[in-house]
Amino acid sequence: MGRKSLKSEHIPKATIGRLAVYIQVLERLKSEGTDVISSENLAQACSVNSSQIRKDLAYFGEFGVRGVGYYVQELITSIKQSLGVDRIWNCCIVGVGNLGRALLRHGEFKSKGFNIKVAFDCDPYKIGEIVEGLEVICTRKTRNLVSEQKLEIGIITTPPERAQRAANYLVEAGIKGIINYAPSRIDVPDHIPLEYVDFIHHFYALAFHINLGRAAE
């Protein structure tokens, strides 16, 4: 397991981000009945350069047909395999506040293969409560549940001051990767992949770009 037909050793971080976009657009094209698409047309739909797409795909293999383009369904499958999202990933969430509940309610994760199987919280008033069909479990039981339920991805939705402790529990329990929705930086060992999701960051970027446009007038 874990074998991968990478043609190249290192893959740009930005490429991974774009592959997710390609999947999104390709799924829409598929649902609209498009069977084949050229890198040029896909590029337009994704607002990127067409050789960017060809290069991104070339990191993983040769998926196209010269003179023709890419078969949409085949390409979706290939990209998903390349990313390793062609299977179910077992996830847990730590912190059942507003944000945690919203994510549990959000159906997109499960439909894309990210199955949230366990919800943790350290608040005794919440423990035992049923949220979206899941019983809230005491955070101390992280170690047992991660191995019992084969949990791979931990989603942190605690308040910022408790995010580091949540991460520590998860790492100690043997989690394989972490997504941090709490607005604080956390430390994890180098071998644990970590992604930050920060809502405010996008608002700051937008505000800046709006001002920039205004200044140019």
Instruction: Give CA–CA dist 141/121, Å, rounded.
Output: 10
Instruction: Give CA–CA dist 47/50, Å, rounded.
Output: 9
Number of H helices, E strands in the chain: 9, 9
Sole window of 51-59, 66-74, 164-172, 180-188 interacting with its own copies (rule: CB under 8 A)? 180-188
Name which of 79 and 136 has its Cβ closer to its own copies.
79
Picking from 63, 64, 76, 68, the residue whose alpha carbon sits closest to that of residue 29 is 76
Instruction: Give CA–CA dist 49/44, Å, rounded.
Output: 8
Report if residue 19 touches its own copies, rule: CB under 8 A: yes
- Taking CB under 8 A as the criterion, the residue among 66, 67, 133, 215 binding its own copies is 215
> Known binder of ligand: residue 98?
yes
Decide if 167 contacts 155 (C-beta within 8 A): no
Provide the 3-class DSSP secondary structure of residue 90.
strand
Scored b (16 or more CB within 10 A) or e, 189-211 reads eeeeebeeeeeeeeeeeeeeeee
Sole window of 50-58, 118-126, 164-172, 195-203 interacting with its own copies (rule: CB under 8 A)? 195-203
State the binding partner of 57 from its own copies, DNA, none, CB within 5 to 8 A by kind.
DNA
> Known binder of ligand: residue 100?
yes
**In the stretch 57-96, what mask flags binding to its own copies with x, by CB under 8 A?**
-------------------------xxxx---x-------
Name which of 47 and 66 has its Cβ closer to its own copies.
47
State the binding partner of 88 from its own copies, DNA, none, CB within 5 to 8 A by kind.
none
DSSP 9: S
Q: Under the rule (CB under 8 A), what is the footprint of its own copies? A: 1-4, 6, 13, 16-17, 19-21, 23-25, 28, 45-47, 82-85, 89, 98-99, 101-103, 105-106, 108-109, 112, 114, 152-153, 160, 176-179, 183-185, 191, 193, 195, 197-215, 217
